[in-house]
Structure 1
Amino acid sequence: MASRVIAAAGGIVWRKASTGGIEVLLVHRPRYDDWTFPKGKADEGEPLPVTAVREIAEETGYRVRLVHPLPEVTYRVRGGLKQVAYWICRLVEDDSAFRPNREVDKLRWVAPREARKRLTYAHDRTLLESFEDLVAQKRHKSRTLVLLRHAKAVPRRDFDGADDERPLAAEGQDRAKELVPLLSAFGVRRIVSSPAARTVQTVDPYVATTEELLELDDRLREGTSRQQVERAVEALLGTKRPTVACTHRPALPDLYATLDISGPVLAAGHALVLHHRKGRVLASELI
């Protein structure tokens, strides 16, 4: 009989050390008397990026955003096979609300060399090695661009107005709300959309949770020229702020070509998260 798979997520949280270099965050769990990276099991139906951010906050008191994916870690536990998705994470706020508790009673910020000595499990040390390899490539400082296809809209045949005014269907409105914690997990602070009603309505629930302004960009419409797309991409990559760009399925091939990537055909309300640096895409993940 196949082992039960237990989905979990967490991250390696890093910050600049006062003496130079970087430090990573470790947690001590009194139940196991171990030192490890913050992580935890996904709630039913919870996307793993959301799990990672939630569990790190619950265990450490730190609010973080996901920066770059790390290799998945799989190991056997009582009751099944645990699969843990990890990301490199950056602090959103320097302050922690941590209080020692039965689950985690100690936190330590340590240099990677000390972390290697302190970590209890071999799979954590292997994960640390992957992190250090990415740090050597400066990928821990990568920027984030989320390419989002608008959620499901009312069919053209059922709408009498102009196509730009066609709104989201009820299913699409539900999906737009589901996107809020996902975009928050990646720390999105710049929100750009095609002017069409269905793209604007897809990001509206997220806009409502932030103090950011919605930017409308005609170059993200369907049928724009390749030159316009290139200018749009240049503007999207040119900011340090994690960015979401909500667009249409027909616009995706030109966006992918301009970014020099082979991207998937996104389903309505789905997104491709791109991690980039100096105009080059380093990694991507589908959400």
Structure 2
Amino acid sequence: MSRRKGPVLAAGAVVLRQGPGDVTQVLVVHRPRYDDISLPKGHQEAGELSPVTAVREVREETGVRIRLCSSLQPIEYDVPKQGAKLVQWWLGTVISQQPHEPDEEVDTAMWLSLAEARQKLSYSTDVQVLKEAAKIPPTSTIILVRHAKAVSRKDWAHGKTKNRPDLERPLDRRGHQQAKSLVAMLEAYGVTRLASSSATRCVQTLTPYSQTAGIEIVTHEEFTEETFKSHHKPAKQAMRQLVAEQLAEPDQPLAICGHRPVLPVMGDVVRAGNHPMATAECLVVHLDARGRQIRQEWHRPSV
């Protein structure tokens, strides 16, 4: 008996802006092949995380570069001759825009008022997603990252130089690959602030993005395993301070890299679910103006 294949994976975004007369507008596309009006979305490539897919597809189909905000409910439906399709959706904010060059896939990208879009969108599922997006309050985004794979404690302790501090234990080869893979992920959410445990393996995890984006990594001794073993309170206090700063500047998304034992306490501050995190896995939380969690997501790199 052949196994039933899973759904085709896709991702997209509901991109909103304030248009003339302070009217909220949404970005839509016309696809000549289907002669339809739809929200921008597309298939997820092999090894690609769905947030990266959403940002890439919006840029390719419309010329608009976005950062992701709150996640929305995924939509699953059947496509004739293809089977089930699962689309992951986000609310998107415009960063920049280039003129769209018409092609066979999308010949027109346009901004419509929400009322116009509800009338013109060709699919009820798109209308459903748009209605949800319009109700989401403004949010702040914080990404908690478990550090990428590090050299084992055993190998580090028995290296050529004895008694090396665990604080200085670096990433291994796979860990460096994972750190590089995080660049596209953090770009998708438009991260502009970086914080980390002062441990080498945590700092190295954020270094590729830091170098790409030209953003300094601010280190915190409170998030190290060594400090955490002494007392949990400093980590929680430092996390609360970072959340307060984030809520004061909601348009400056923050990524924080920490350790497996410390991350649950950090996550408690933003009321995250208790989920064991793999190396380089990301917990993305979206908070409203009061710091209440609106949505959360988990993303694990394929490396």
The TM-score normalised by the length of structure 2 is 0.89
Mapping 1:116-155, distance limit 5 Å: 116-134=118-136, 138=137, 141-155=138-152
Give the deviation of 1:213 after TM superposition: 1.1
Paired position in structure 1 for 2:280: 269
Q: CA deviation at 1:100?
A: 1.5
Q: What is the distance in 2 between the residues matched to 1:232 and 1:97?
A: 43
C-alpha separation in 1, matches of 2:86 and 2:24: 27
Which of the numbers 223, 238, 241 marks the counterpart of 1:235? 241
Displacement of 1:17 in angstroms is 2.0
Structure 2 CA distance, aligned partners of 1:176 and 1:75?
34
Distance 1:57 1:27 in 2: 12
| Matching residue of 2:190 | 187
Q: Find the counterpart in structure 2 of residue 284 from structure 1.
A: 296
TM-superposed deviation, 1:34:
0.3
One-letter amino acid of the counterpart of residue 64, structure 2: Y
Question: 1:211 is matched with which residue?
Answer: 214
> How far is 1:114 from its partner?
1.0
Are the aligned partners of 2:240 and 2:269 in contact in 1 as well (CA < 8 Å)? Answer: no
Contact 1:4–1:79 (Cα < 8 Å) also in 2: no
Alpha carbons 1:145, 1:236 under 8 Å: kept:
no
Letter in 2 for 1:285: E
Q: TM-score, normalised by structure 1?
A: 0.93
Q: In structure 2, what is the equivalent of residue 19 of structure 1?
A: 21
User: CA offsets per residue over residues 185-206 of structure 1, 9 Å max, x none?
Assistant: 1111101111111001111111
Q: What residue identity is the alignment partner of 1:247?
A: G
**1:96 positional shift:** 2.2
The alignment covers a number of residue pairs equal to 281
Structure 2 CA distance for partners of 1:18 and 1:230, relative to 1, 3 Å = farther
Query: Corresponding residue for 2:52?
Result: 50
Aligned amino acid, residue 128 of structure 1: L
Equivalent position SS for 1:31: coil
Provide the residue aligned with 1:115 in structure 2.
117
* Contact residue 11 and residue 43 of structure 2 kept, 8 A: yes
Deviation of 1:116 after TM superposition, in Å, equals 0.3
Q: 1:257 aligns with which of 247, 253, 268?
A: 268
Q: Which residue of 1 aligns with 2:89?
A: 86
The residue type equivalent to 1:100 in the other structure is P
Residue by residue over 1:133-178, the C-alpha shift from the partner in whole angstroms, topping out at 9 and shown as x without a partner, is 32xxx1xx21110000101111111113110110011111111111
Where does the alignment leave 5 or more consecutive residues of structure 1 unmatched? none
Give the CA deviation at 1:207: 0.8
Question: Residue 40 of structure 1 corresponds to which residue in structure 2?
Answer: 42
Letter in 1 for 2:168: E
